Structure 1
Amino acid sequence: MKNWAWSLIVVVLALLLLASASFYSVRMTQTAVVLQFGKVVRVTEASGLHMKWPLVQNVEFIDNRLASYSTQPESFLTAEKKPVLISFFAEWQVVNPLAFYTRLHNDASAQSQIGDIVRSSLRGEIGTMTLASVIQGNQKKITEPVLVAANRRLRSLGVHLVDVRIMQVGLPPAVLQAVYKRMEAERTQEANAYRSRGAADAAEIRASADKEKTQIMADAYRQQEELKGQGDAEAASIYGAAYGKDPAFFSFYRSLETYRHSLGDKDILVLSPDSPFFKYFRHSLEPAGK
């Protein structure tokens, strides 16, 4: 009795295990590929509980959500054969589970294949552009042809590339140093040109200022001489008028001016006492009895 009970329990457990092996569950984010002895027999895209033959069939699940691929900066050659460092980001999705499993089998292989295809398409696009257009250009104009070319090759793999973005564009250190030196040389040349133009402008301004100064001094000297001539003429006129009114007083005044300018503390004049120079001295001394 006990042996029969144990046998029944074993049979029931075996049936349960066999029943559980006959079902598989597909999530909404998955697609199931049913294999029989390693060959694909069907693809289940509907979510829910499904049946399969136990022991002879197994199920591989493929995630149909968006997946991403990104790289570190890599060297690409432009049309001038100049290196440029570019890192990119790609989003992809499985659209043909049968082709995906048959050609790629799993996500790791898919990542490798997608990276190589996108990298090759991007390399071909960068190879048609100049370094300046790569660095300064619109990245969307670069990635759109890459997206089209990569999808053309990925279609047979059951993968659709949703988006490609360039994350970083830079120059290798050696090229960057050369660019810095060239920029420094250009700025130095530009600064020297500014200095030369400044020196020329300064010389022109100084020459103009010196010319203007000379002209102003000449005008001032001319005005000075004109005023001096006018003053001398007016003085002569005043002297003439004064002489006409009282010649004796005018003669006396001019003699005093002559004495004042001719006789100083250390001046010595050797003249005869009867000289006309002492005319007014004599007139002033005679009343005193000398």
Structure 2
Amino acid sequence: MKGIMRKKEISPKKISKIILGIILGLLLLSLNLIFFIVDTTEYAVVTQFGNPVSTILQPGLKIKLPEPIQSVQRFDNRIQVYEAEPLELLTSDKKSVKVDYYGTWRITDPVTYMKAVKDKVGAEARLLDVFSSSLGVKLGQYNLDELINVDANKLKLDPMIQDTIQKSKEKAKEFGIEVVDAQIKVLNFPAANQQSVFSRMKAEREQMAKKYRSEGSEEATKIRANAEMEQKIILSESYKQTQKLKGEGDAEAIRIYAEAFQKDPKFYEFIRALETYEKTIDEKTTLVLPSNSEILKYFERGKSGN
């Protein structure tokens, strides 16, 4: 009948393409289940029914049996930073201190790591024990003034940290972890003890300041005494030199006077009299002297001359 539609037939060529597509899809799916890529930032552990069968430390394209026979566990191989809450620990001299620290670590044995800690959360829980116990043991071997001191020769903080790192390395090996470094960010006193510690430090500094002031005052007294002694010596030498020069001047003056007197005794006597008048007589001077006084003889001569 013309009204009845004829059934559409699929050609053999089209069927072949469909089958080929299905085969390729299955092949790609199989390849995806068998092949996998390991990145440069990770390690991989191939497990078979949960048990590790191979460890892959180098990046690249790798092969395994398809799921669920074999599966891949991936772990970050980069250095990671661990930071925890500050710890309160005791020093060798029984001083309580608050230690804020951090540590760096990385995975070195992926299989041991997977069995011991499983993941990063488990690793950090183990590292808390590792770092806290190592810090507690090593810090307890040093006095407080060996960890906090302005004198670099007495400070032993760096050796303490190096001992802590070494002890942490030994403990972390059993978890497939390498401790790379550990450093103290803040070393302080617990809040409950800070005020008493600061008061004691203030008292010690005041005592030290008093000592320095006392030593300074004593040294200043010595300096002043030495300066005064030197001053007296200098003044004495100056006075001695002055007196010497003055004596020499007086002697020279006497010599000159003597020579002048020998040349003309009367003139010398007249000059000396004038000097005496100049020193003793002015417009306000009133003299009461006997008539035969030596000082009046030149006045008498002046009158007789007039």
- Normalised to the residue count of structure 2, the TM-score between the two structures is 0.65
Aligned counterpart, 1:207: 229
Kept after mapping to 1: 8 A contact 2:102/2:184: yes
The yes-or-no answer on 1:118 pairing with 2:139 is: no
Aligned counterpart, 1:87: 101
Kept after mapping to 1: 8 A contact 2:87/2:100: yes
How much is the aligned-residue C-alpha RMSD, in angstroms? 4.1
Kept after mapping to 2: 8 A contact 1:69/1:89: yes
Select between 161-170 and 256-265 the one with higher mean Cα deviation.
Answer: 256-265
Alignment of 1:165-204 (within 5 A): 165-172=182-189, 174=194, 175=197, 178-179=200-201, 182-183=204-205, 185-204=207-226
Distance in 1, Cα, partners of 2:278 & 2:145: 92
Distance in 2, Cα, partners of 1:149 & 1:250: 111
Shift of 1:142: 3.4
Aligned counterpart, 1:160: 177
Distance in 2, Cα, partners of 1:263 & 1:69: 108
Shift of 1:284: 5.5
The yes-or-no answer on 1:48 pairing with 2:31 is: no
Classify 1:227/1:260 alpha carbon distance in 2 versus 1 (closer, same or farther; 3 Å): closer
Aligned counterpart, 2:75: 63
- Normalised to the residue count of structure 1, the TM-score between the two structures is 0.68
Q: Which residue, out of 242, 251, 255, partners 2:264?
A: 242
Q: Deviations over 1:99-119 (max 9, x none)?
A: 333332222011110222122
Alignment of 1:128-143 (within 5 A): 128-135=141-148, 136-137=155-156, 139=158, 141-143=159-161
Q: Which runs of 5+ in 1 are unaligned?
A: 1-11
- Give, as a single letter, the amino acid of the residue that structure 1 aligns with 2:188: L
Distance in 2, Cα, partners of 1:19 & 1:284: 159
Distance in 2, Cα, partners of 1:261 & 1:90: 103
Kept after mapping to 1: 8 A contact 2:43/2:75: yes
- Give, as a single letter, the amino acid of the residue that structure 2 aligns with 1:267: T
Q: Deviations over 1:237-281 (max 9, x none)?
A: 4223312xxx5x666666666677776544243655xx4766666
The yes-or-no answer on 1:27 pairing with 2:51 is: no
Distance in 1, Cα, partners of 2:76 & 2:270: 133
SS at match of 1:170: strand
Q: Percent identity?
A: 14
Distance in 2, Cα, partners of 1:235 & 1:213: 32
SS at match of 2:141: coil
SS at match of 1:225: helix
Shift of 1:95: 0.3
Kept after mapping to 2: 8 A contact 1:65/1:93: yes
SS at match of 1:190: helix
Kept after mapping to 1: 8 A contact 2:107/2:113: no
**Residues paired across the two proteins, number:** 263
Shift of 1:84: 5.4
Kept after mapping to 2: 8 A contact 1:33/1:44: yes
